[in-house]
Structures are given as structure tokens and as C-alpha cells.
Structure 1
Amino acid sequence: MNGNTDNHLPDNDAPDESAGVTQRMSKTQIFTLMSTASVNFSSMICYSILGPFFPNEAVKKGASETIVGLIFGCYAFFNLLGSLILGKYIVQIGTKFMLIAGLFVSAWCTIIFGLLDRVPDGTVFILMCFITRSIDAIGFAGAMTSSFVTIAKVFPNNIATVFGCLEIFTGLGFVLGPPIGGFLYQSYGYEIPFISLGCVLLLMVPFNICVLPSHDATPSKDSFWRLFTLPKIVLICFVIFAMSSSLGFLDPTMTLFIKEKFNMPAHYVGLIFVSLALSYSLSSPLLGVVSDKMPTLRKWLMVIGGMLSAVGFCLLGPVPIFNIKSQLWLFVLMLVLIGFALGMTGISTFPEILTCVIENGFEEGLSTLGLVSGMFGAVWSCGMFFGPMLGGFLVEKINFEWSSAIQGSIVLIASSLLGIYFIIEGRWKKRSPPTSTTGSDEETSPLLPNEI
């Protein structure tokens, strides 16, 4: 926010632009952080409880490993569709209504999913899993798209920093979901983990009704197709896709591998999930500050993060050509590396995309934020759809060690292509004479003014 004023924010709520991350936030900013933090935490904990026990339960109910991968993947596919559609029409729907409605839908779907152990085995169970997860994904897409837009609107100068701080709550949801889900499953059976956490998610609805600010705007004429005409955007999206597919790859495969290789019960498998989520959530705030304070370094964080993630996946099994024995400590260490690498890449991508679209003439406003948020969510979901499907198929046909290496190679290709583009872009800018003398002022100005 700069010296201008918003229709909803008085002058004394606007942060001092020269201060960077302000020492004293406005009431609107505090409420926004509380709201989006609750969305990140509650949504992620409901999503992550499936990992430790659902694959085994689904196999008992007649689903193959490939079908389990598709059940995980369908969530991402409908999240993709929901992100594109809701991101396009967020101005017409309203950010606050979209977030609250998304939470409400996701909460009830989580509860219903906990009752599916009562349906007949085989086709009926599999079909109900697909339907419930698909509707849940659309609700989740609405909540997260609105959350992204709200943060970028209220904190235009410090997007990466705020995203990084909020990822503590995302990581906390991932951290607590698997062990809580594993413990409740081990103690009370299949139903209780979903019903109890679904009720927690329902409690977030009235909370967000009270604290979430509303924002009005007019629709723009820009479209998703115009975003994908920019080569830089396409390559960044490829990196987002590769990173999200690597996370999705672990959903249906890691639990079965750990149980088979290390002979661990479900509640201990949940603790293994913690290493990745904890590494990601603890590193994200620092990486967000670095991304905002040194924007020229942001692009290389994406590239290096992708390459580190590729190394982690190659050593996760590890791949047989290294002749390294699979050990639990090495597995956990690689998950920590992957979590850190995900933070390096993921925190930098959203503000880098925003910078790129504004530089290429997109209108500065809520509508553009909706397009970018929708595109980000759609590409992320596309990877989350592809990853479980690829993982379930490859592990069934070959083994986890080689499948993990194949997934790592996708991340390596994406980050390498982006790195090559940045090198070529840097050389081209050095050869091109400056077109104006106001470039430095434009680089330090906020991406989005208050008047949206």
C-alpha cells in the first residue's frame, strides 16, 4: 500500500511504504492475518490426515494402488477447475463470500468422507470417494484462491514475507494432520479423524464471518490465456507444476513404502510426514523476507530450490544406481531437504508472477489478483493431480526407488529450463540500452496501489 487510500481502509490503516514490513499493523491487516492463518491451518490439517492410513483402508475396501492414486489425484483435478473458474469470477462472487462458502463445503465433505467406511466395498466405495473428494476440492479452491487474493490486496509491498509467515500455519496443519490422524485412527477407527477435524473446520466459518474484511472491485478484460502468452510465466508455472507433483507423488506412495521397508505402524508413519512439513514451515518465513528484501535473488531461489528437491527425490529411495542402502535416517533427512527446497521455490513464485504481469501491462487490481491466484492454484492442482497418478502407476509397475528418481528428474528439468531462461534474459537486458531513467523508481514501487 502506498500513499493512496482504499475505499475500505482509512489513511491511518495504511502502512508506511518506506518501512518495508511495518512494525505496527493496522486492524484490517491483523484481522486478515488471523483469517487467512485459520484457513491455511484448518484446511491443511483436514487434507493431510489421509496420508498415514487411508491408502491401506482403501486397499482393504477393494481399491488398487493406481485407484488410490486417482482418488488423491481427483482432488487436485477438481481443485484445478475450481481455481480457474473461481479465480476468473472472484470479483463478481466476492472474496469474503467465496472464502466462507469454501470453508463450509470443505468441512461437510470432510465429515462425509469419514462415513464412507460404511458403504459397500468395491465400486460403490470408490465412486463415493471420488464424488466427495471432488466437491471438497472445489470448496478448498474457493477458500485458498480468496485467501491469496486477500493477502496480496492487504499486503502489496510484502507479499512474500506474509506468505512465508502464513506458511507456518500451513506447515503446522501438515505437521499435526498425519500424527493426529494416525493416533485417532489407531485409537478410535476410521471415522473419528474425519468427523472431529471436519467439525473444527466448521468452527472456522463463523470466526471468518466476523473478522474477514470485504473488498470491492470492477472486473478486468484480461484472461488466463493472456497470462500463458508470457514465456516467463509458462516456465514458472512448469516449476510450480513440478514441485506440486512431487508432493502429490508422496501421498499414495510414501506410506506404503515406509510400512513395507521399515515395518512401521500408522501412527509412526504420521510422524515421518512431520519432517517435510516442519522443514517447510520453519524455513518459509525467512525465505519470504529474503524474497521481499532482495527481489533480484528471488528468481534464483526458485531455480536452486528445484535442483535441491531433485537431489532429495533421487536419494529418497535412494535410486539403486547409487548403491546406497535405504535407511530411515536418510529418508527423513531427504524429506527435510525437500521441504526446505519447496519453501525456496514456492514462496518466490507468486510475487515473481505478480511482478511479471504488472510489467507486461496487466491492470493493477483485484481482478488481476484473482487471475494470478486462480492460475497459481490451477497449476499447483494440476501437479497434485499428476503426481499421485504417476506415483501410484510407477510404484505398481516398477518400485518406489526408481519412481522417486523419475519424479525428481521432472523437477530438475523444470528448474533447469527456468535457470536457462533467466541467464538468457540477463544477457539480453545487458545488451539492451535503458529506455528511461525512471526504472529504479518503478522497481521500488508497490505492485498494487490501494485504489483497486
Structure 2
Amino acid sequence: MGSRAADGAGSEQPPEDGMPETPGEESRRLTREQVYTMAASACINFSSMICYSILGPFFPSEAEKKGASDTVVGMIFGCFALVNFLTSLILGNYLPHIGAKFMFVSGMFVSGCVTILFGVLDKVSSKPMFISLCFLVRAMDAVGFAAAMTASFSILAKAFPNNIATVLGSLEIFTGLGLVLGPPLGGFLYQSFGYEVPFITLGCIVLVLVPVNMYILPRYESTPSKESFWKLVFLPKVLVLSFTIFSLSACLGFLDPTMSLFILQK
């Protein structure tokens, strides 16, 4: 019996590549659901940033033609980030009740519709009405993208519980691509086809992505957190990181309403 056991042990062949198979090798491979989740999150990161940055090259001059001051133009740009910030706080509390996938898809749908709507605001001749509609449409756009981004973070945390930091860092590539491609694409479409085409084009692309994400995005249940949000916010490390992000964002946002006007004057 001992010889049979020895023969059986000796008959085991090593893997063909000569390397022993590690137990965690299979777990490091992305599943189909994880790939679809990353694709959907990349779509919302890219589309939100390109829709935000596409206004930079031409909207300040268009708003100036309508009689809006530089301060008002800056406030129109800033209201997007402000409403995005406030809405994210509110929607985060209701995410478990609404559902992450529904919030994600509905947010993209709202953003696509209001992006198209922003493209027809040049038809408004009244200065007060134009400014009011700009604030309203930009605020609705921020609400839509805030809903989609908040749901995206929740879905990613569920899909990648062990390496969420790596996944979020990788998806920031698409955020940067949106910020980089938005201004030149917006300037090209505006110069070639006029004011409406940049917004209608991007809005239609976002709307096309809605049924795609409805199909590919897995459904994850969101569980409410028992920890206090304000307790987390006032941690010293979180305060330092928040101030750093605020400073960097302010430096970038300062250029949006001013750079194109400055270049045109030169």
C-alpha cells in the first residue's frame, strides 16, 4: 500500500509551464459582471466630464452676446459643481431605497436630455430668460450626473470590494480624457456647425448609452451605512484631502469662464 501511495504521488505531473498554480490566480481575473461594471462607470466618467468641459471655448462669448456679464458666466459654470455637490449628499442617503442601477440609468437619461436642451438656449432672445434658463438647465444637468456618479461609486464598491482604490484610480483616466477632449471637440463643432451641434451631438451620445448600460450593468443591492457622514467628513485626514481637492478644482475651474474671452481679446 505504501508503494502504491508513493507511485501515485510520483505520477503527479507539474503544470505544462513548469510553474505551480497559485490559489488566488483565478480570483484576480475579472468576471464578466466586473468588466461590464467598469465599462458603464467609464462611460459616465467620460461623458460627465466632456459635457462639463465642452462649454469652455465658446459659451462665454455667446453669453456675452446675450448681455451676460463675466460674473454671471462664472456663476453659470460654478452652479454645476455646487448643485452636483449638494445633490450627491442628498441622493447618497436615498440610494438604498431608489436602487443603484435605476439611479445610474435615470441620471444618464436626465443628463442627455438637458444637454440637448442647453443647445437650443441660443434661441432665447430675452437676457433675463436666457440667464435663468442657463442656470436651470445646468443645475438639472448636475443633478443627473450627480445621481449617476453616486450610483456608480456604490456599484463599484459592491463589484470590487477588495481593490476599490485601484479601480477608482483606473477610471480616473476616463475623467481626464473627458476634460482633455471636451474643449477641442466643442470648439471644433462650434466653429464648423454652430452653437447647437456640440450639445445635441453629446446629448444624443449620452442617450444612446442609456439602453446600453441598462443591458450590461449588473444589478447590485445597496445597503445603508450605519456610520455618521459628518463624523467621517470631520476626520483630520479627510479635511486635508478635501481642501486639496477643492484647491485643485478651483484652479481648473477659474479658467473655464475667463480663458476663451482673454484669448479672443488678444
Matches of 2:260 and 2:23, distance apart in 1: 47
Does the alignment pair 1:174 with 2:179? yes
Q: Distance in 1 between matches of 2:153 and 2:23?
A: 21
| Corresponding position of 2:31 | 26
Q: Which runs of 5+ in 1 are unaligned?
A: 1-15, 264-452
Instruction: Indicate yes or no: 2:110 matched with 1:101.
Output: no
Match in the other structure for 2:249:
244
Q: Which runs of 4+ in 1 moved over 3 A?
A: 16-21
Q: How big is the shift at 1:20?
A: 11
1:96-120 Cα shifts (integer Å, max 9, x gaps): 1111011000001100000000012
2:60 equivalent to 1:37: no
Deviation at 1:180, TM superposition (A): 1.6
Q: C-alpha distance in 1, partners of 2:245/2:103?
A: 24
Change (3 A) 1:59 1:227: same
Q: CA deviation at 1:152?
A: 2.4
Residues in 2 aligned to 1:145 and 1:71: alpha-carbon distance in whole angstroms: 22
What is residue 118 of structure 1 aligned with on the other side? 123
Structure 2 vs 1, CA of residues 203 and 225 (structure 1 numbering), >3 Å: closer, same or farther?
Answer: same
- Count of residues in Structure 1 that have an aligned counterpart in Structure 2: 245
Q: How does 1:5-16 map to 2 (within 5 A)?
A: none
Amino acid at match of 2:41: T
Give the % identical residues. 60
Structure 2: distance between partners of 1:48 and 1:181: 8
Rounded Cα–Cα distance in structure 2 between residues aligned with 1:17 and 1:172:
37
Give 2:200's aligned residue.
195
The SS at the match of 1:156 is coil
Task: Specify the code of the residue in structure 2 equivalent to 1:107.
Answer: G
Partner AA of 2:217 in structure 1: L
Could you say which residue in structure 1 is the equivalent of 2:232? 227
- Among 238, 257, 264, the alignment partner of 2:262 is 257
Instruction: Tell me the residue number matched to 1:55.
Output: 60
* Selected match of 1:86 from 91, 98, 103: 91
CA contact (8 A) 2:83 2:142 kept: yes
Q: CA offset at residue 125 of structure 1?
A: 0.6
Q: Deviations over 1:72-131 (max 9, x none)?
A: 011111111110001122111111111101100000110000000001241111001001
1:389-404 to structure 2, matched below 5 A, reads none
* Partner SS, residue 234 of structure 2: coil
* TM-score (norm. length: structure 2): 0.86
TM-score scaled by length of structure 1: 0.52
Which consecutive unaligned segments of at least 5 residues does structure 2 have? 1-21
Q: Which residue of 1 aligns with 2:4?
A: none
CA distance in 2: counterparts of 1:228 and 1:124, whole angstroms:
38
Partner Cα distance (1:107, 1:137) in 2: 11
Cα distance in structure 1, aligned partners of 2:102 and 2:193:
35
Determine the structure 2 residue equivalent to 1:342.
none
Determine helix, strand or coil for the equivalent of 2:30. Answer: coil
Alpha-carbon distance in 2 for matches of 1:76, 1:17: 45
